[in-house]
Amino acid sequence: MNDDQLLRYSRHILLDDIGIEGQQRLLDSRVLVVGAGGLGSPVAMYLAASGVGHITLADPDKVDLTNLQRQIAHTTDRVGQTKVGSAAKALHDINPEVRLTLLEKQLQAEDLDQLLAGIDVVVDCCDNFATRQDVNAACVKHRVPLVSGAALRMDGQVAVFDARDEHSPCYACVFPPTPAPPETLCSTMGVLAPLVGVIGTMQAMEAVKILSGMGSRLVGRLLMLDGRDMAWREMRVSRNASCPVCSSTH
């Protein structure tokens, strides 16, 4: 690290759990963020601010006026631009040193299989069930930790699935691929703006902990937030021995 980096990341370096070694691991790390919307905005911004060296950002959509209520990486003057391009401007404003790969597409299974070979952590911020399952399957195959989050109406959830840990469930252990649940979208059901910030920030924190060497104590736990009552609930989750995705990998 040079002098400017030592100054920029000094508050991390002061932490015994991170220090210079942990910050260097962050600088050397590569993260895939799937989705650049409500969850992906705070995730990507905090990862960039924290010094993650290379962020791959994938999202097929363009910025719409309705996004601005909660998707804080985007601004009014960028309505109509691609979300990944808009988010890139926000990230470079925060930290011009961050290296970005921008994918203006909805990732398919074959895309993920190629991408994950060089990725240290995946943060799933997408809004559709099929992509979540594809992301999980790729993470299991390549043994890449997955930080999963979701938010709708006034409820949110966050969990970490780490395929490197033989005791960790995968996403499909908790949310089986079939039958697929009915589609739920914030465009028809609504979402409280700060809720996505709370969940996305927690996802970013778990990713930073994993990348810096602290690891995540959220493996095997599903945290659920009732934003109306500001009440957290925790569900312990375990591997499903007959899971169609991860049962054959351990």
Tell me, what DSSP letter sits at residue 137?
Answer: H
Tell me which of 126, 186, 243, 246 is the catalytic residue: 186
Reading phi first (left if > 0) and then psi (alpha if -120 to 50, else beta), residue 143 is in left
Q: How far, CA to CA in Å, does 60 sit from each of 39, 81, 130, 196? A: 15, 11, 15, 19
Annotation says 186 is catalytic = yes
**Measured between alpha carbons, how far is 76 from 68 in angstroms, rounded to an integer?**
7
The sheet carrying 30-34 orders its strands as 99-103, 54-58, 30-34, 121-124, 146-152, 155-161, 221-226, 231-236
Tokens 């109406």, residue located:
153
Q: Which residues are catalytic?
A: 186
